[in-house]
Amino acid sequence: MESKIEVLATVKIQHSPDLYKIVDCLNRTLKKDDLMFGLALDEKDKEKAIFTIYRT
């Protein structure tokens, strides 16, 4: 069985040390709805973060 991950939305935001808490909360709460959330530092601008919403 093949599982595909679809990117629903991506946004670049100001990085904050507590952003991971929001992403963790969203992942725990909405996992049953086949949604997954990601957070990564922007490689070009370390003061920005990239927040992505996926459908699994």
Q: Say if 1 falls within a structural domain.
A: no
Q: Number of folded domains in the chain?
A: 1
pTM over 0.85: yes
Distance of CA 8 to the CA centre of its chain: 10
Is the pLDDT at 2 greater than 90? The verdict is no
Q: Say if 37 falls within a structural domain.
A: yes
Q: Say if 43 falls within a structural domain.
A: yes
Query: Tokens 């991506």 — which residue?
Result: 10
pLDDT in tens, 10-56: 999 999 999 999 999 999 999 999 999 999 999 999 999 999 999 99
Q: Say if 32 falls within a structural domain.
A: yes
- Per-residue pLDDT at 3: 75
Handedness of CA 26, 31, 54, 40 (dihedral sign): positive
- Per-residue pLDDT at 21: 97
Domain span at residue 45? 6-55
Q: Say if 44 falls within a structural domain.
A: yes
